[in-house]
Structure 1
């Protein structure tokens, strides 16, 4: 069962009281922005964390990266509320701002869409130093991707996330080919030296312009999902390694 925050339960109760879950005519849905571009604030570094498939751990990687920066950062989760990996992750719920529901974990701000419309709204303005856009390949590259499509086309920092299986690695190869430029490839699972031989063979097909980094799979989080508890140290160390590579000047 998915855990939901108090703020989300209050919003559901408000919607029931307003008749939004009743049969028959419903109130008009919120008009989400159809903007096709998004301009980050000055000094805000943006990283797209793109899951090559569903359930590969992109949200965990995005949160670990934001936490590992050690400075004010945020994760902008771009999925419907029912698919959110952050519904029980914040230490404090901060309510809604525009079309986004906000929560915090220390210096990390979590933003996720407040309604289930199919179009992801443009992120709110922020004074953070790092923003990690948590999304998946189908959303960021599909029809009507809007500003998410522009993020993938224009950002210098793209992290493609997959799992350490043959289908997962092949999916990473396909996404990297479609992206057509430099990117980080984060493979969630066993360290690369412990990959089964078929996975290593499949990984040989990944373009050389994609720098691979492995990322541990935490057994507890596989059961509980992301919670308000601190992330395990091995995940933060792996995130620091990825950040060190992102911080390097392009060659």
Structure 2
């Protein structure tokens, strides 16, 4: 089973940059996407159901904003939109597809970088989402949460960590919260289970020469329950082409969907 996750930074923009042509060449069983910046009527038939994939989407109420999706070669047993909290679900941040005892979730945490009001919204999301994570963990299901968490966990996960300690995405409170996800809720950072190397990033600022100099952040994750995490065999970050300011995170699991 291969799973890809990618923040598209606008599905229509990513498609213009060749995302669907690249996707057609992949062997992924599941592709989780975030930041659609579109409503369903904005999506072409090819965007909604690329060749050999079923497409499912949880769009934000606000036009041109947020939204998550899941492409799956196999039709899920059920699809769940949102976490049941109206103001969070209005932003289109959670989509779950169930396949037998396995749940794949496309998740997009808020960014707090645009101002104090959005950082407050991010903290609110984190507070409300943690019990959801705990309930998922005790559900006796295998879970893989794929997406942009907008938090770099440790110093190794961003190039300029010293100068970003007071910036959204690397605040002590955010990092502690993510540590709790791993240590107290028992989820596993699947990429780091297989790759402990530095300079492994999934997002680069458009300012300066961040991409060219690999001055990045690792903020896109596949976070899983322990049993399915143990089945991860290969991880990679695809950087040969650019469809977004994020890069696709690709993980292969020794599991048949």
Instruction: Give the TM-score of the pair, scaled to structure 2.
Output: 0.35
From the two aligned structures, give the one with the greater helix fraction: 1
Instruction: Give the TM-score of the pair, scaled to structure 1.
Output: 0.36
Higher relative contact order (CA 8 A, sep 6+): 1
Larger Rg: 1
